[in-house]
Amino acid sequence: MRLTANQKKSYVGVHCLVLILAMLNFPFVSVAIASDEPFRSVTQSASWGGVPGRFDVGISVETRVQNRSGTDMETAFRETEALLIGNRLREEFETAAGWGVVRLFPEPSVIPQLTAYLEVLASDGRELTLKVTARTVSGELLLSQTYRDTSTGEDYSNDLKDPFADLFIAVHNDIADAVSSKSSSEPYLRVVSSLRYASELIPEAFPDYLCQDAGLFAVCREPSDADPMLARLSRLRDYELLFVDTIDEQLVRVAEKLNGAYHLWLKASKEQLDWLEFRQQQGVSRESLRNESTFTRLQAVYAAHRSLKIHEQELFELVLELENEARATAVYANQQIFRLSGTLEQQYREWRTTLREINDLESPL
């Protein structure tokens, strides 16, 4: 059966309306966040003026955002998003200046004197929720707090503006304040770090030098600066940091290529969520659908949904492309080239195994 031009126009309109109604009848999805800590709702944060000491800082991130599509593509995106969020916090530490070296680690490490572990609980363009746990390498808890920041339309008025900048400033400021209130010095924590690294990589190296009580580590004895084992451990630690810095260079390139597309996705996601929530609050009845202005607003909902899907597809495809590029890492160490593959976590564990093998080869019989 052939349709006339008017029938085609009517059919397209009805089809559009069916899609809109399906969207509106779909239950609004929210992420249930379980936490023993109360939320800190971030509104506006001022930059912090001072830094307590040149502590090296390690940042590790894990995403717990629900995979709504159930696809590997979305899983890859959420994992990459977690790295972008960790990188954003790293930038806040570097902007503050006065800290030591700030690095992203695939897994929490005992190398830096201070570690911030982030769990991404919600991220949809309108809301960002992070659970932040910060500890010194001695095991002392500095901070355990859940932060939630809600964006506004003005936050997306500039493509270069971070809609959740206040959250990252607040996290940095709270960690800096917590470090300032603690008594452990930076040189002392460096010794703890060295001994903990030795106990993890080569447990037999300094078995009686590190004490542990109620989950906290303390220095019982310090090795001699002339101890050859200490020198070898220092070199192995440098090799591990070489791997982390190599991955870091990849991450910087990924962030440069993704930030624009990621910002557009956040903005489109917020617009759709705002429309859906507004229409659900207002309700859609048969009578209101006969109202032309209401139908126009519903078309706007569909337009927002279509915009989101376009940006989402572009972003997901870009993530997969960059992920495939960064799947393998080549590291030059100990006069050899080591090639690692798999996820960042898999490469990191493989590299630590390689470091133990290097130590075994260098150890006297």
Question: What is the domain class of 39-182 according to CATH?
Answer: alpha beta
Q: Is 153 helix (H, G, I), strand (E, B) or coil?
A: helix
Q: How many angstroms separate the CA atoms of 132 and 118, rounded?
A: 5
Residue 276 has φ and ψ, to the nearest 5°, of: -60, -45
**H helices of the chain, where?**
5-25, 72-96, 165-180, 186-201, 228-282, 286-289, 292-325, 344-362
Give the angle 272-275-277 at the CA atoms, nearest 5°. Answer: 105
Long-range CB contacts (< 8 A, 24+ apart) of 202-208? 202/229, 202/233, 202/356, 202/359, 205/229, 205/233
Which residues of the chain are modeled with pLDDT < 50?
1-35, 286, 289, 292, 365
DSSP state of 242: H
pLDDT at 169: 94
Q: What does the pLDDT read at residue 44?
A: 66
Give Dmax (Cα) for the chain: 91
Give the integer Cα–Cα distance in Å for 149 and 170. 10
Identify the three-state secondary structure at position 337: strand
pLDDT of amino acid 3: 41
The Cα–Cα gap between 24 and 26 comes to 5
Instruction: Look up residue 32 and give its DSSP letter.
Output: -
User: Alpha carbon of 29 to those of 16, 23, 65, 66, 124: distances in Å?
Assistant: 22, 12, 12, 10, 11
DSSP character at residue 167? H
Instruction: Give the list of residues 6+ apart from residue 83 with CB closer than 8 angstroms, or none.
Output: 61, 104, 251, 254, 255
283: alpha, beta or left? (left if phi > 0; alpha if psi -120 to 50): left
Instruction: Indicate the domain borders of the chain.
Output: 39-182
> Quick count: other Cβ atoms within 10 Å of Cβ 8?
11
Torsion of CA 250, 63, 266, 131, to 10 degrees: -110
Task: Yes or no: say if 327 and 232 are a contact pair by the CB < 8 Å rule.
Answer: no
Residue 90 near residue 74, CB atoms below 8 Å:
no
pLDDT score at 21: 33
